[in-house]
Amino acid sequence: MLAAKANEKKAKSELVRAEGLSQKKLISNAELESAEAGYESAVSGRRQAEASLKETRDALHKTKLYASMDGVVTRLNKEAGEMAIGAQFQEDVIMVISDLSVMEAVVEIDENDVINVSLGDSAIVELDAFADTTFKGVVSEIANSAVTKGRGTQEQVTSFEVTIILDHPDKRFRPGMSTTVDILTKRLDQTLKIPIQAVTVRDKKELEIKSKKKKQIPDTKSEKEMVEIVFTIKDGRALAKPVKLGISDDTHYAVKNGLREGDMVITGPFKLLNKNLKNDDLVSIKDQKRAK
């Protein structure tokens, strides 16, 4: 760089001298033009040296890496002394730094269920490493692109990645831990609910016939229509009540109508309720289950 500046200074001095001599007609035009060309060449050399210096300083600056955030090294791919190759179109990851104060769970939701998930939905997260412990979270991101497995086969599955931010993550959490997530897509407060095992179905015609027999009304219907019912207990006998159900979770249904709070319902194995139990059968109370 210093040599380039010295050459430029020398060329400028020679140009000034040549211009003076040219005005006195002591040198030819060719000699003046040669001095001008020498000065322009020296200027070009100085600019090229400056550009080279800037490029070298930039390369030197890039030999020092600065993290964009505070965090903990969770993956180290290069040890001190190993060569790291960086290119414009190819990265060479040296290490991964993670902010462990913010933890996310990324799960794949089936395409039939993801349409019910919304940003801000509450979630219950279970980690395999923390048995019998659940953590709360919130849906923060829903992917717009699908993840397809087994494409073109009978086992093809299409799902979407959903990201859940965990509330108050435990300091023992580590990236990559296995999780199971339940997302609460709808919530009802102060609603009547019953166990899933209490719900079965019966032919609507059969229920109406029994009702009409009591009222001595002839039956005029012949079509078969299945309705959801719950068996309650009245005077020691089973009483079938059609119900209208709402949302459900893994263990309970919400009841929109058909039951009242405090009604005693019958629960049991599917075969018992669906096949064997009949309206007006004698029953005995073993364990009390009430709508609440």
Kindly report, residue by residue over 71-120, the tens digit of the pLDDT.
888 888 888 888 877 666 777 888 888 888 899 999 999 999 899 999 99
pLDDT, residue 217, reads 46
Q: Is residue 42 situated within a structural domain?
A: yes
Structure tokens at 24: 């006195």
Q: Report, as an integer, the average pLDDT of 180-189.
A: 86
- CA separation, residue 123 to residues 139, 141, 225 (Å): 7, 13, 37
- Domain identity same for 268 and 212: yes
Q: Is residue 288 situated within a structural domain?
A: no
pLDDT, residue 209, reads 54
Say yes or no to pLDDT of 45 above 60: yes
Domain total of the chain: 4
* Residue 169 neighbours by CB distance under 10 Å: 17
Say yes or no to pLDDT of 289 above 90: no
Q: Is residue 286 situated within a structural domain?
A: no
- Domain identity same for 93 and 110: no
**What are the residue ranges of helices labelled H in 24-103?**
29-62
- Domain identity same for 108 and 93: no
Q: Is residue 290 situated within a structural domain?
A: no
- Domain identity same for 36 and 87: no
Q: Report, as an integer, the average pLDDT of 19-46.
A: 86
Q: How many helices (H) and strands (E) does the chain have?
A: 5, 13
Q: Each residue of 104-125: b (16+ CB within 10 Å) or e?
A: ebebebeeeebeebeeebebeb
The number of angstroms, rounded, from the C-alpha of 58 to the middle of its chain's C-alpha atoms is 38
- Domain identity same for 113 and 94: no
Kindly report, residue by residue over 224-261, the tens digit of the pLDDT.
688 899 999 988 888 999 999 988 888 889 999 999 98
* Coil vs helix vs strand at 157: strand
pLDDT, residue 152, reads 84
pLDDT, residue 223, reads 61
Q: Is residue 287 situated within a structural domain?
A: no
Say yes or no to pLDDT of 164 above 90: yes
pLDDT, residue 226, reads 86
* Residue 201 neighbours by CB distance under 10 Å: 12
Q: Is residue 15 situated within a structural domain?
A: yes
pLDDT, residue 100, reads 87
Mean model confidence pLDDT for the chain: 85
Q: Report, as an integer, the average pLDDT of 10-27.
A: 85
Say yes or no to pLDDT of 136 above 50: yes
- Domain identity same for 233 and 204: yes
Percent of the chain with pLDDT over 70: 91
Residue 211 binned pLDDT confidence (cut-offs 50, 70, 90) = low
- Domain identity same for 207 and 232: yes
**Residue that finishes a domain, picked among 184, 212, 228:** 184
Q: Report, as an integer, the average pLDDT of 184-192.
A: 84
Q: Is residue 176 situated within a structural domain?
A: yes
pLDDT, residue 14, reads 85
Sheet with 252-257: list strands edge to edge: 193-195, 252-257, 244-248
Side chain identity at residue 282, one-letter code:
L
Helix (H) or strand (E) holding 237: strand 237-242
CATH number at residue 247: 2.40.420
Nearest to 276 by CA among 224, 235, 227, 238: 238
Nearest to 27 by CA among 18, 36, 35: 18
- Domain identity same for 88 and 122: no
Q: Is residue 256 situated within a structural domain?
A: yes
Its domain, for residue 240, covers: 193-276
CATH number at residue 156: 2.40.30.170
